[in-house]
Amino acid sequence: MKVYDAHHIRNICLMGHAGSGKTTLAEAMLFESKEITRRGSVEEKSTASDYHDIEHERGSSVLGTVLFAEWKDYKINIIDTPGYDDYVGEVISALRVVDTAIMVLNAAHGVEVGTETLWKYTEQFHTPVIFVANKVDSDQSNFDKTVQQAKDRFGRQVTVVQYPLNEGNAFNAIIDVLKMTMYKFPAEGGKPEKLPIPESEREKANALHRELIEIVAENDEELMSQYFEKGELDEDEIRIGLRKAMVERLICPLFVTSAKKDMGSGRIMGFIDNVVPAPVEMPPKKTVDGKDLVCDPQGKPSLFVFKSMSEPHLGEMSFFRVYSGTIHHGHDLVNEQTDVTERLGQIFAVNGKRREDVAHLYAGDIGATVKLKNTHVNNTLHEKGEHLVLPSIEFPAPKVRIAVHTTKKGEEDKLGMALHHLHEEDPTLIVEHSQELKQTLILGQGEMHLGVAKWRLQNRFKVDIEFTEPKVPYRETIQKSVKGMYRHKKQSGGAGQFAEVHMIVEPYHEGMPHPHGVSVRGEEKHELPWGGQLVFLNCIVGGVIEARFMPAILKGVLEKMHEGPITGSYVRDIRVSVFDGKMHPVDSNEAAFKTAGRMAFRDCFIQADPKLLEPMYDVEIITPDDYMGEIMSDIPARRSIIMGMEADGHYQRIKCRMPLSELDKYSSSLRSMSQGRATFSSGFAEYAVVPSQLQQKLHNEYIAHQHDEE
């Protein structure tokens, strides 16, 4: 295929709430550019974008798919992204390397929660945005309401370029207020007839045209003066003004389509090549050390890997954007992060599952290569002798977790390798081998996300696995002060063991005074790896325990703090004061004092009114008004506390504090309650006391489990 320079490349991603029609729009764009000869459909599982088995099974996009369309001497790189929040990592990866985002709105539903979440990411990357009101042929379509919601949520920079005529089932025409033309489509869609705007629409079209011109002009002093002089701007002047304003996110043009009927997609592609900024017209990319990396094909070669995927018969495929220079077959580049020299054996332009071999790619283009030895997502490759790193993609923290284990003995290593591969391809899927919980955990963005991981483990990697409920990392502490002692005495021929330790064990909090009735000779404060503190006081008087044995006593206490008596969980926020004891001149040693310290601590802890603590998370739920009541009534049933709520446009924000044990199951429940239209985020808040009835239940389960293992 032809190789394009940076002036003739456009990089876009299609994004939007699930069901808005992104994949169908991508299919129409490929069809219009003659990249495909027949439009496929999601229902028939025949689209160029959703070509993976898991996407066919689920009937929706799961992975971001790289596509391209050659259109009037331009190459438009398109990344079609999933709509569900569970796969937001695919959207963020795409936004990192494209120059413009096309936000697809379902005109039947307007601005949805997922759209708002995605908008925040475009703000983070400062990405120019085009809005497309799709599905205007739907019975429920409400274009005016959709536009108003977009303006309310995203500001007056949302500017109408087109509006539908005969909205609903009879839709067949679009009024374009930039071109001041009506596009009338045949019943089967495709190439429209260009007609004058009907007299009945002339007033509305003129008003929207003036609004468009004024917004373009007010963002450019030169255009403003020309507008005042002539009372109008010509098409070239508007195009230049639009491009500048889009780069600064001062204008977000809004177009109209029925992607399913292939009505309006060609006009959008014309706008992309004619107006949307090319890579060379975007601000230079900043390196980690703050230097500008200019999009110059004559510069030193550098590229950034934003996605990896294992493909049958090809192996690991790495997707990248060229940020400077020109790369070609056989190019040796150094991976800045791993210091490995990688040879680019083959370079591909990718269109879904179809790959076209290309000899080279210029700065600004997007491509793929295979069989890199040690290169991963977020790695920068550059010419030898250079040192530059492009900023990494920052992925969101996981929302849900599940435990995974193999059903066949001996497949643990196979599972470990498979999980490693999944994380390499999807960095939002976190794998954690928890020594505390004695479980392998998978953490993801939602239950659908975890479901896809399970499907891939079973079907792609052929590992027989089960998902089980993840354990909760409880903590144990005490509520009162207890004084106790333990004598360890052991005699078995020859030297024996002897140690006696007296201690005070009490709950610790910052600023508490020293214990009454003892003299503190030394204090050690230990920040525990699992959170909380242990304060260890040496209160020995008269040398009844030599100083050399105090570290052994501390070691015994810490050893027991790994397994509390209620559920076997870690212990935190304790102060231990060793104030008395006895030694034997021959039989006392470190092992004896370690044992005595451990057992004295255990006995005191059991008597000190032990209490179980559970992790609590701050949760923010964003929901349309329609589902507010059901969601609100569900929160207290989850032992959660509502912290506040506020209106945010036509959404409600609910803030609550929820136990992790309930949060683990919340993703699917919220989706069910809101028909997939609500979303939530969470972050660790604190450890809080477990209700006594639940504590007893958990303790009984722990004791029963201990008996089963004996």
Q: Which distant-in-sequence residues (6+ apart) come within 8 Å of 62 by Cβ? A: 50, 52, 54, 55, 82, 87, 452
Chain CA centroid to CA 280, Å: 29
User: Each residue of 200-251: pLDDT tens digit?
Assistant: 999 999 999 999 988 888 877 888 888 787 878 888 888 889 999 999 999 9
Kindly tell me if the per-residue pLDDT of 424 is higher than 80. Answer: yes
Superfamily in which the 6-281 domain is placed by CATH: P-loop containing nucleotide triphosphate hydrolases (3.40.50.300)
User: Each residue of 248-277: pLDDT tens digit?
Assistant: 999 999 999 999 999 999 999 999 999 999
Average pLDDT taken over every residue of the chain: 93
Q: Which range is most confident: 103-107, 217-221, 420-424?
A: 103-107
> 400-471 architecture in CATH?
2-Layer Sandwich (3.30)
Q: Where are the beta strands (DSSP E) in 491-582?
A: 497-507, 522-527, 533-538, 570-571, 574-582
User: Each residue of 359-400: pLDDT tens digit?
Assistant: 999 999 999 999 898 999 999 999 998 899 999 999 999 999
Kindly tell me if the per-residue pLDDT of 492 is higher than 80. Answer: no
Q: Where are the beta strands (DSSP E) in 539-609?
A: 570-571, 574-582
Q: If we measure between CA atoms, which residue out of 667, 619, 678 comes closest to residue 643?
A: 619
Query: Rounded mean pLDDT of 420-439?
Result: 94
Rounded to 5°, the CA angle 475-655-17 comes to: 110
Kindly tell me if the per-residue pLDDT of 710 is higher than 60. Answer: no
pLDDT bracket for residue 1 (50, 70, 90): confident
pLDDT at 708: 66
pLDDT at 219: 78
Query: Rounded mean pLDDT of 455-483?
Result: 95
pLDDT bracket for residue 335 (50, 70, 90): very high
Query: Rounded mean pLDDT of 165-174?
Result: 94
* 304 strand-pairing partners: 321, 380
Strands 331-335 and 482-490: unpaired
Query: Rounded mean pLDDT of 613-629?
Result: 93
pLDDT at 398: 92
pLDDT bracket for residue 465 (50, 70, 90): very high
Rounded to 5°, the CA angle 551-554-559 comes to: 125
Q: What is the pTM of this model?
A: 0.88
Q: If we measure between CA atoms, which residue out of 572, 363, 409 comes closest to residue 476?
A: 572
Domains 6-281 and 476-608 share a fold: no
d(CA 134, CA 28): 12
What CATH class does 476-608 carry?
alpha beta
- Per cent of the chain over pLDDT 70 is 99
Kindly tell me if the per-residue pLDDT of 621 is higher than 90. Answer: yes
User: Could you give the C-alpha distances from 667 to 58, 68, 81, 465, 480, in angstroms and in order?
Assistant: 18, 35, 21, 22, 39
Residue at token pair 């081998």? 433
d(CA 348, CA 370): 9
Q: Which distant-in-sequence residues (6+ apart) come within 8 Å of 294 by Cβ? A: 284, 324
Kindly tell me if the per-residue pLDDT of 493 is higher than 70. Answer: no
* 67 strand-pairing partners: 78
> 285-382 architecture in CATH?
Beta Barrel (2.40)
Strands 162-165 and 400-406: unpaired
Q: Say if domain 612-693 classifies as CATH 3.30.70.240.
A: yes
In the chain, where are the structural domains located? 6-281, 285-382, 400-471, 476-608, 612-693
Residue at token pair 């929901």? 623
User: Could you give the C-alpha distances from 404 to 374, 442, 448, 462, in angstroms and in order?
Assistant: 27, 7, 15, 14
User: Each residue of 298-322: pLDDT tens digit?
Assistant: 999 999 999 999 876 677 899 999 9
pLDDT at 607: 95
pLDDT at 76: 98
Q: In what order do the strands lie in the sheet with 400-406?
A: 430-434, 439-444, 400-406, 465-468
User: Each residue of 435-446: pLDDT tens digit?
Assistant: 999 999 999 999
- Per cent of the chain over pLDDT 90 is 83
Q: Is 462 exposed, middle or buried (0-12, 13-18, 19+ CB in 10 A)?
A: exposed
Q: Are 686 and 616 in contact (CB under 8 A)?
A: yes
Query: Rounded mean pLDDT of 180-197?
Result: 95
Instruction: Lowest mean pLDDT of 31-45, 303-317, 346-360, 685-699, name the range.
Output: 303-317
Write the DSSP symbol of residue 258.
B
d(CA 447, CA 666): 9
Buried b (16+ CB within 10 A) or exposed e, 16-49: bbbbbbbbbbbbbbbbbbebbeebbebeeeebbb
